[in-house]
Amino acid sequence: MAWNQQQHNAPPPARSSAGPAPWGGLAPWLHAFGAVLAAFGAMAAAAWLGLWLLGADDLGSGTMPALVAAVVALAVGGTVDLKGTEKSGTGDDILSRLTGDVSLAQGSGKVDIMLLGIGLIGALVLGWLFLRPLRHRLVIGALDLLVHGMRVLVFTMAALGVVATTGKHTLPIEQFVSRVGGAKAQGLMDVFSLGAAARFETDVTGTLAFGALWLSITLAVAVGVSARGPLPVKWLRHRAVLRPPVAGVLAVLIAAVVAGVVGTPFVAASAPAPKRMIGGMFFALPNAVWLLASLGLGIPWKATTTDPTGGGFSFGLPGPLGKLVKASAGDGLPIRIDRLAELDSRAWFVPLFSALLLLLGGTLMALRAPASVRPHQHAWRFAVALAGGLLVIAYLMQLQLKVAVSVFGGVVSPGASVSLHADYLWTVLLGLLWGACAGFVGGALADWVRYRRTDAAPLAAGPPRPASARPPAAGPPAPPGPPPYSNRPDPARRPPRPPDPQGPARSGPWPG
């Protein structure tokens, strides 16, 4: 029984640090292929659903696969080149404003918008599947981790090559308008914010380059956030410093997207075209909610345009936010939360929303960190992590449209463009400030939560009962000594001494 008790109380065996090496063999390559296939399949399915909500299923054969490929390319950071013909200047898009009353004009443009809604789906799937074969390992060599990532990179580049070659299609404007109709055509092209473009083509070089950057960020965040993923030996000592802050920043971003998903049906219900609104938010929901959250932190954004008429674009953003972005491109004023509140007074709830998100991230970071870490340490760690995360998100969320218009082959407006980008200096400074505040308060809340758990543990077991109230033990008391089935001899139960061959010991004096 004592041996059984020792076996029961023995600590569980530690995870093996060796594990199967992620080197050659067919199985690691098959897993990498499956991870990339699942990620791009999820992005393609999400893109198809969003395009269907926008009405792209009526564009004829061959258009839908090309549009899906173009959307996936935009989701990983690629660019799409657009070309179209405008017959009149009555429209409200940039091509119409640039051509004026010219009867025939050829317009070409480039779209540089990262559709984070589709890209986030692919990143979550790829990051989870990348770490899955490594979940039983505690330590991994840096070279092994690099090789494991290189296999995924090989298949990702192949998938991006297929996307880039598929994402191009030509459709005459007459056929486009006759098949879809003016309202649907404008709604579909709102995805690209460039009116009715007749020809689009994915930029192969840009898609491959920025796709590799998207993959690197995805795998780095996955390794940095995972609580069970292995790390190189030299990184293990810094695990408590690296992983909790990254996990806290990721929790802020994911919580903002979840809140946007919950609020999208309410926004779409008041929109004139709910189905189209949901389709647009399906693509750019993270863009919208992260932009709102950054405005709530006080980070200013700028919308600029080189359009000679001074007009702007809403970039598909809904409601007052889209109106403010469009107006800011014309007047040159920064986009701030007070200007948004002038259009909708409910915008003053956005800073409260941002504060709650940061408090959630700071608390989760502190709970994942060791209990010995003090609140002031959480403050600077979360400050650095949040400033870096906001800077990366601001770079990924920058939007740019470039348009050039030619009449009978002569360029009349080269390089006209509209763009939306954050003020990077304020992004870093306010990220450090609010990150430090959220980290300190989150660390104090985590200490309070641990203290409550420590106090609640004895109460859950109940107060100790007095000895008189305890039930008597059944049977006679066990004799003193070692536990049964023990190999140690009992000193109180020595075996009898063997008889003396000389006879019994004499009790009298020795004869003289």
Which residues, in sequence order, are CB contacts of 489 under 8 Å at separation 6+? none
Residue 238 structure tokens? 């810094």
Q: What type of residue is 98?
A: L
Count, residues in the chain: 512
Rounded CA-CA distance 372/350 in Å is 34
The residues near 270 (Cβ < 8 Å, ≥ 6 apart) are none
Please classify residue 33 by burial: count the beta carbons closer than 10 Å to its beta carbon, then call 0-12 exposed, 13-18 middle and 19+ buried.
middle
In angstroms, the Cα distances linking 320 to 114, 267, 341 are: 22, 11, 9
For the chain (length 512 residues), average pLDDT per consecutive 10? 45 44 71 94 92 74 82 86 52 38 44 80 92 80 85 94 84 50 46 48 87 91 80 76 89 92 82 77 84 91 67 64 78 85 88 94 91 88 93 82 44 55 91 94 90 67 54 54 50 57 50 44
Q: How far is CA 373 from the centre of its chain?
A: 26
Q: In 24-181, which ranges are E strands?
A: 80-86, 105-112, 168-170
280 vs 11, 45, 170, 431, 484, CA distance in Å? 53, 15, 23, 29, 74
Residues 119 and 43: beta-carbon distance below 8 Å: yes
Could you give the CA distance from residue 201 to residue 83 in angstroms, rounded to a whole number?
9
Backbone angles phi and psi of 169, in degrees to 5: -160, 150
The tokens of 162 are what?
């297929």
Question: How far apart are the C-alpha atoms of 106 and 285, rounded to whole Å?
Answer: 32
Q: What is the pTM of this model?
A: 0.71
Cα angle for residues 159, 162, 168 (degrees, 5° grid): 140
Q: What is the pLDDT of residue 22?
A: 43
| Burial class of residue 479 in the structure, from the number of CB atoms within 10 Å of its CB (0-12 exposed, 13-18 middle, 19+ buried) | exposed
Q: Where are the alpha helices (DSSP H) in 25-93?
A: 26-54, 63-75
3-state secondary structure 12-43: CCCCCCCCCCCCCCHHHHHHHHHHHHHHHHHH
* Residues 204-209: contacts with CB under 8 Å, at least 24 apart: 204/161, 204/164, 204/165, 206/77, 206/78, 206/79, 207/73, 207/76, 207/77, 207/78, 207/79, 207/160, 207/163, 207/164, 208/157, 208/160, 208/161, 208/164
* 204-243 residues labelled b (16+ CB within 10 A) or e (exposed): bebbbebbbebbebbbebbbbbbeebbbeeebeeeeeebb
Residue 7: predicted pLDDT: 45
pLDDT digits (tens, 9 = 90+) for 453-509: 776 656 555 555 555 555 555 555 555 555 544 455 555 555 556 655 555 554 444
CA atoms of 222 and 175, how far apart (whole Å): 45
Q: Residue 80 has what pLDDT? A: 78
**Gyration radius (Cα) of the chain, Å:** 34
Consecutive H or E run containing 219: helix 204-225
Q: Residue 224: helix, strand or coil by DSSP?
A: helix
Q: What is the pLDDT of residue 194?
A: 39
Q: Counting Cβ atoms within 10 Å, is residue 63 exposed (0-12), middle (13-18) or buried (19+)?
A: buried
Bridge partners of 411, per DSSP, are 406
Domain residue ranges of the chain, discontinuous segments joined by +: 21-237, 241-454
Q: Kind and range of the H or E element at 404?
A: strand 399-407
Q: How far apart are the first and last CA of the chain?
A: 60
List strand residue ranges (DSSP E) for 156-288, in order: 168-170, 199-202
- Residue-level pLDDT at 420: 80
The strand pairing partners of 179, in sequence order, are none
